[in-house]
Structure 1
């Protein structure tokens, strides 16, 4: 069981970092850029990005992170690394509820509602639709980004809690 712990811990770090980075990029560049664009362009771009994100590159980080973290917690616990197990386990639960489930419950329905908007719209209509979408979407994205960052932090703490090999 102990032999599985290092690769699982590193996979937990990789997936936690990937999903945090993905959400963080939306916070600090993507949405701000779309907010500066023509609202019709912003709507079309967001529709295209939302449609393209459902892929095999994104899926492991988005769907796999909590389960890999929980598996890592289980293996760490079985290896009597209880502090590390706690960090990985809490990180997995935080991402499960604050990242994955939050996204499925809030951001995905918002994305699906935007997906049926047909463009081009009048400038006023497009501005109203984009404003109604972007502001709340960004709030919820910042929340899931915070939870994902906390997950990454806990994953790092879990790694630090693992024993070091003697030189």
Structure 2
């Protein structure tokens, strides 16, 4: 599971519930679409759609009516940086917003830290749980017998969105 995030900077006053530009980070659903390259060959490309609850939200000090978009972007980047986000792309205008790819400046956890976080009784149980959630190791500790290291961000996100959370309305009788 590689979670993809997009930051949205809204600078259109008609889309805001206050006067200043705001920035929101949302997790993206990733689908694959077929496109054609310059030679007419089919190529698979990822397509992202931002969904779900915000994982970060902040209001800039830049007025959405007569503020400078560059100032809003600069301030949004400072807010994201202070919250542990790293801007990995370039800002693009889309409709009433500007968007950019972001990711968390991530730390890694060993299985003992994962087990403690998810409440698993052992590192073996934690490994099985991570496998069920689709979380894969991002690296290994150096040296012989080094343990696998996992992305804290992916673990926290997978735990928060795991199956079985919330009401199972899909199982209720429609009648």
**TM-score category of the 2 structures, normalised to the smaller one:** under 0.3
Which has the higher Rg, Structure 1 or Structure 2? 2
Q: Which structure ranks higher in relative contact order (CA pairs < 8 Å, sequence separation ≥ 6)?
A: 1
TM-score by length of 2: 0.25
Q: Of Structure 1 and Structure 2, which has the larger fraction of its residues in helix?
A: 1
